[in-house]
A and B are shown apart, each in its own frame.
Chain A
Amino acid sequence: MSAPAARPRGRTRYVVAALACGGAVIAATVLMFALSGNVQYFRTVSEAVTSQDDGRFKLMGAVVPGSRRRTDDVVTFELTDGKKTVTVRHSGDTPALFEDGAPVVCEGRWGRDEAFASDRIMIKHGEEYTPPKVDAGGQGG
């Protein structure tokens, strides 16, 4: 139903459309950098220990083998990034791959007792894929 647009109007229209698209890209980029604290999805154990913030954040590290203790609906374990180690007290479900040595992202805040109180655990798996190892030990652990 559009009347054939006069030359300048047609031009204006696509300039406006292009500007709108450009604006969308810029807005998205600005949004990402404005939320820069959240652009980095997690903090390492060392960073979290150094900064000791009050608010809620995500903490990433590897589960120290043999450190998991389960009591009722709370799991306590040690989380390390190789330099620093903290105690995490997690209440809630744990993913299937929550195992010794697993790289995990815990969401929560510092508790009063120097432990990190987490209520959500996500597994950060790596980019390597390998067939199951067929060693004598089998799939223990």
Chain B
Amino acid sequence: MNRLNIEEPTDTPGQLLAPGVRHAIGAVALVALAALALLGLWGAPPDDRQGEAMRLLYLHVPSAWLAYLAFFVTAVASVLFLWRRTRSMVWDRVAGASAELGVIFTGLTLVVGALWGRPIWGVWWAWDARLVTTAVLFFLYLGYLSLRRIPGEPEAAGKRNAIAALIAFVDVPIVHFSVEWWRTLHQKATVFNPELSAKIEGVQALTLWIAVIAFTLLYLYLLDRRYRLAVLEEGQAERELEQAIRERTGDAVAGVTP
């Protein structure tokens, strides 16, 4: 049953998704990613002005979307932890797992953005509002993840983490609206602009939607796996603690009669 032979906390579920649901999500995510690769690299036409470099859109946009989504989930889970009625370590773990994915996809957004900026803008990086607030987002949540590593009594540590997550989330809308509030080198939103009129059509738009769906499914799958890992880590830590106590008490008994 339990391959790693680790005792699991009995009061909380060991995973977020039922195995059947998880396998289905994983399979659909794989198919969608394969479709994305085919459409993104060959099926969709290049851009009239940017040429082939425009294909980076199909990685850059879904990565940024996932970063927003992941940090939003972290914020919601943090509220649910702070609210006494729904307080559970489940939400603390969900918050941590989601933030980790958010940091990874924020990093991917920055890297793909730099690779795209060089051929189109002419520079890898620009100190404009969109890029700077995104870098701030990356480091805010990196700080949040380090904060989570500071040990403490679970409930107090959980509250501390949740408050930090909510403060960090303030930057998410700032990143999104930075291109509207300030003049930037970065373009304005192609899809989620204030007028909500997409400036992309046809196969290019279809490819972008498939990219967003594929990345979202991948996120759900990875979130479940990271949550599971957190449960196993906690079980392992508890087991080690019990082991240490047992050894200590054993030593104490041995100490009485040398």
Within 8 A of A (CB), among B175-223: 182-185, 187-190, 193, 199-204
Q: Is the CB of B187 within 8 A of A126?
A: yes
Q: Is the CB of A14 within 8 A of B167?
A: no
| Number of B positions contacting A (CB below 8 A) | 54
User: A123 an interface residue at 8 Å Cβ cutoff?
Assistant: yes
Separation of A105 and B185 alpha carbons in the complex (Å)? 8
Chain A residues whose CB sits within 8 angstroms of the CB of B204 once the complex forms = 129, 131
| Number of A positions contacting B (CB below 8 A) | 43
* Smallest CB separation, B180 vs chain A (Å): 11
Separation of A117 and B48 alpha carbons in the complex (Å)? 31
- Which among B120, B147, B185, B199 is the interface contact of A41 at CB below 8 angstroms? B185
A28 closest partner in B (C-beta): B136
User: A11 an interface residue at 8 Å Cβ cutoff?
Assistant: yes
Q: Is the CB of B120 within 8 A of A129?
A: no
Chain B residues whose CB sits within 8 angstroms of the CB of A105 once the complex forms = 185
- Pick from B121, B126, B144, B188 the residue with the most CB of A within 10 Å: B121
User: A17 an interface residue at 8 Å Cβ cutoff?
Assistant: yes
Chain A residues whose CB sits within 8 angstroms of the CB of B49 once the complex forms = 97, 125
B136 closest partner in A (C-beta): A28
User: B258 an interface residue at 8 Å Cβ cutoff?
Assistant: no
Q: Is the CB of B193 within 8 A of A127?
A: yes
- Which among B48, B123, B187, B200 is the interface contact of A132 at CB below 8 angstroms? B48
B163 closest partner in A (C-beta): A18
Number of A-B contacts (CB under 8 A): 135
Within 8 A of A (CB), among B118-154: 119-123, 126-129, 132-133, 136, 140, 143-144, 147, 150-153
User: A122 an interface residue at 8 Å Cβ cutoff?
Assistant: yes
User: A70 an interface residue at 8 Å Cβ cutoff?
Assistant: no
Q: Interface of A with B (CB < 8 Å)?
A: 2, 4-5, 10-11, 13-14, 17-18, 21-22, 24-25, 28-29, 32, 38-42, 60, 93-98, 105, 120-133
Known: A130-B201, A131-B202. 16 other contacts (CB 8 A): A10-B156, A13-B160, A14-B157, A14-B159, A14-B163, A17-B150, A18-B163, A21-B143, A24-B140, A32-B133, A38-B127, A60-B183, A124-B187, A125-B49, A127-B188, A129-B199
